Copies of this chain bind each other. A is one copy, B any other.
């Protein structure tokens, strides 16, 4: 358990970066060096920043429950989801036993030698869904950088059978901690941030300060851009296209505050197009090297409304992923309990 953060330092150390920055690679490698947690919890570790969440943090999380309400943060998993098709399709269920079978007499006798139906009937179905197709957590085997993944393991451990290490199943049961909502859209007074708009550490600090809430080691940071609400239903390129999101320059901030999980209402947490000439550089720094759990396409609308109403932006977040052995991620029935 890490309760203290010896790396903390002033925000102004973040270097100014512009699109014409000639030193993208230098910046990326500097952030990697600054933010890496490789080896911090031993060379065998497969859970990254979940190490930051221990009994004290979970008791603190439980103490945020004051109203006794549970708010779901998960989009419906169905054919109306955000995926445009192709590489990642939307979730489907295939019905293998139906009520219409039952009412048509096709379930009498029952299957599997269960005998005469005598009025009994049932439905059954098979779920088919890309693990990254809707509200989901990334595993620490989801992203690679130069042939390595979290904790310096070789990417080649992730073959056609799934991840032999760092799979999503390692996170099951662990994503239970205090969460803090940062509603950037509300702070800016807009319905939604626009694609390409980055969220910088200064703004996060300003929002936390104005709302009178602090984040501590092991907390989950939930950042609302409003983009999911703006695109809901007519998704367009919501999944995979340009999007607002966290700046790469959030990486040192996340590391200094020892944030355990970072969640947004966008497809990829970070701003797109990316700010430097690397694809998803915040993933490279904070997930691959930092071991921070990323949560994507969370539906933060009901939570944001509740927080706006009662002025309380903290809650217990329970977002345990399914133990999909070797999985790159998992759908998650996330709840904020206040």
Which residues of A line the B interface, CB within 8 A?
A: 54-59, 62, 65-72, 74-80, 84-89, 91, 93-106, 110-112, 114-115, 117-132, 141-147, 149, 154-163, 169, 172-174, 176, 240, 277-280, 284, 316, 318, 320-335, 337
Residues in B whose Cβ lies below 8 Å from that of A149: 99
Q: Which of B69, B94, B103 has a CB less than 8 Å from the CB of A96?
A: B94
The minimal Cβ–Cβ distance linking A50 to chain B, given in whole angstroms, is: 10
Contact A324-B78, Cβ < 8 Å, known A144-B121, A279-B114: yes
Highest count of chain B CB atoms <10 Å: which of A91, A114, A145, A173:
A173
Q: Which of B102, B143, B157 has a CB less than 8 Å from the CB of A155?
A: B102
Q: Which of B57, B75, B95 has a CB less than 8 Å from the CB of A160?
A: B95
* B127 with A324: CB separation less than 8 A: yes
* B74 with A323: CB separation less than 8 A: yes
Contact A176-B123, Cβ < 8 Å, known A87-B111, A104-B159, A322-B331: no
How many copies, total? Answer: 4
Can you sample 21 A-B contacts with CB below 8 Å?
A: A57-B68, A59-B66, A72-B173, A75-B323, A87-B112, A93-B131, A95-B158, A99-B159, A99-B163, A100-B100, A100-B158, A103-B147, A106-B156, A106-B161, A117-B279, A118-B277, A121-B144, A122-B328, A125-B329, A127-B324, A321-B333
Residues in B whose Cβ lies below 8 Å from that of A76: 169, 323, 325
Given contacts A99-B149, A120-B279, 20 further A-B contacts (CB under 8 A): A55-B69, A56-B68, A58-B69, A72-B320, A74-B173, A94-B95, A95-B160, A97-B160, A99-B158, A100-B156, A102-B144, A103-B156, A104-B159, A120-B144, A120-B145, A123-B142, A126-B128, A127-B130, A127-B331, A322-B332
